[in-house]
Every structure is written in C-alpha cells, then in structure tokens.
Amino acid sequence: MSDAKTLATRYIEAWNERDPERRRTLIGAQWTEDSTFIDPIMSGDGPAGMDAVIAGVQTRFPDFRFALIGEPDAFGDHLRLSWGLGPAGADAPLKGTDFLSLKGGRFAAVTGFFDQVPATAEA
C-alpha cells in the first residue's frame, strides 16, 4: 500500500477539484469500478456515484475546501483520515473522519462520519 499521507492527499484532491472533467479523471484513477461511499447524508456507487457526491458537496458549499486534519493512519488495506471543510485559511466549521478500504491501491469503500456539524449546516 502507498503511504497514508499520499493516499489521503489524493483523496482530498478529488474532493477539492472544481473542474468536472479533471475531477472525473482523478476519481477514475483513484476509485475502483465497484467502489462505494456512504456517510450520514449521502451515498454513491462507483466512480459516477462518487462524482455526484462530490459535485453535490461543492454545490452546497461553493466557497469551502477540504483540508486534512492531523496525520492519516493506515494498516493493511485500510486508511483513516480526518478532514475539515470550510473557507480557505479559516477554521473549518464542518469536520469529519473517513474510513477507507483499498483494493489494489485504489479506494474501494468509504464510510464517512461527521465529527462537527454546525446547526446551520444540518438538513
């Protein structure tokens, strides 16, 4: 498995890519065809589903960007990372932790949890 920091950086890079074509290219290179994503409010299957999830977050929070919080942790084919979503250069009002399973160095399953969600961001 590639090192945890590199994998986590690639993951966040896809979430922050605003150009739809470049984002789909990143997702196609990093996610398996049978990949899954689920968190408390969204889910998606395969690269197209992942693209739809990311596009949805970008639409809802057009001025926010994802950033890693702390150091990602990995063992075997599993990766854990924490992230913040907010304006560049400011403390992120949304924070979470994602658990990723990998297959052949690519993301196969992502389960996301929210660690901090302001009341105004819910619903």
Domains of the chain: 4-121 (3.10.450.50)
Write down the pLDDT at residue 106.
Answer: 96
Write down the pLDDT at residue 121.
Answer: 55
**Cα atoms found within 13 Å of the Cα of residue 17, Cβ hemisphere only:** 19
Write down the pLDDT at residue 1.
Answer: 47
Residues of the chain with pLDDT below 70 are 1-2, 121-123
Write down the pLDDT at residue 122.
Answer: 53
Q: What is the pTM of this model?
A: 0.92
Write down the pLDDT at residue 2.
Answer: 59
